Amino acid sequence: MMLASAVRNLSRRSFSTSKAVSAQQLTVRDALNAALDEEMERDEKVFLLGEEVAQYDGAYKVSRGLWKKYGDKRVIDTPITEMGFAGIAVGAAMAGLRPVCEFMTFNFSMQAIDQVINSAAKTFYMSAGTVNVPIVFRGPNGAAAGVAAQHSQCFGAWYSHCPGLKVVSPYDSEDAKGLLKAAIRDPDPVVVLENEMLYGVGYPVSDQVLDKNFVLPIGKAKIMRPGKHITLVAHSKSVETALQAANELAGKGIEAEVINLRSLRPLDSETIFKSVQKTHHLVTVEQGWPQSGIGSEICARIMEHETFFHLDAPIWRVTGVDVPMPYAKTLEAAALPQVPDVVTAVNKVLGVK
């Protein structure tokens, strides 16, 4: 009897339809690949260009299989000249196509920043709204591992500073697919700041995310974890750091609300305001440098809004250290925000010893 009962219980468990069990794992790399594939299939005006995106399947295999499926005219290998192929992409967008311009790393986008800012971002305004530039600039942004100062910079603050651009910074697979699809469909230039360290990470996704019609709105943040004592705001890989810190803090009875910004421009101030009005405390987390960073902008917006009067303590920023990224592994770790840094900041803001 006991054996039969155990078998029945096991059978019931194996047919569970809860989200936790039924959710499928999808890597960020495959989410981006699916977004590109679905949008290229949906709209023949969409094409991809960049270094090694075609025959090599992409430096990070994000464009795997697309060249074989869509051919030379829609998946284009370029020379190593960011200024050149970014200019070609902007011109194609002005002529009515929808290019996706991949930078092997956003550090190299500095070679093309005149095209990104002066040609792509400003044209709609300078043409009095007569010329749209529906282009996506995408690739890995921020710190990787062991690639030193010239390959480890975060450009979130740089590009979100510029009117005429939209800037998104996805964290998980849901973000990556939904935001890239939204960027490709957008009538204006969108910068998609991915993270190399997250490409191979798998995250659970629902059937809705896997649907070809799944698109996320640009400019809307997501509350990853509700809380009542303090708000943690982050983007890209720093969301992971904030979530890990929140788990550690929960063990001490501190419930942190974690906000994944998703979009840096436009910035979802309203979600931040509502959270801070509830928790009365705020810590921002980012891998970029402190001066004029995303955290600085959030601080300014709080100061200039009625939400300032809801604060019970000063806002605290947890950022990358104000130095070029070191090459040594130990120094690299010291230059980036770690979970203990966030926990320490929360303790200071809350007055916990």
* Residues with catalytic roles: 82, 151
Tokens coding 165: 């651009």
**What is d(CA 173, CA 182) in angstroms, rounded to the nearest whole number?**
14
- The four Cα atoms 250, 254, 255, 259 give a dihedral, to 10 degrees, of -100
**What is d(CA 78, CA 50) in angstroms, rounded to the nearest whole number?**
5
Concatenating the DSSP letter of every residue in 145-176 gives SS--GGG----HHHHHTSTT-EEE---SHHHH
Element at 137 (helix H, strand E): strand 136-140
Beta bridge partners of 272: none
Q: Using an 8 Å Cβ cutoff, are 139 and 58 in contact?
A: no
**What is d(CA 95, CA 72) in angstroms, rounded to the nearest whole number?**
19
> Cα angle at 188 between 71 and 30, to 5 degrees?
45
Cis peptide before 134 (omega within 30 of 0): no
Task: Name the one residue in this structure whose structure tokens are 């990070």.
Answer: 60
**What is d(CA 35, CA 214) in angstroms, rounded to the nearest whole number?**
9
| Helix, coil or strand: residue 14 | helix
If we measure between CA atoms, which residue out of 348, 341, 281, 269 comes closest to residue 311? 281
Q: Using an 8 Å Cβ cutoff, are 259 and 271 in contact?
A: yes
**What is d(CA 195, CA 152) in angstroms, rounded to the nearest whole number?**
10
If we measure between CA atoms, which residue out of 74, 107, 103, 101 comes closest to residue 89? 101
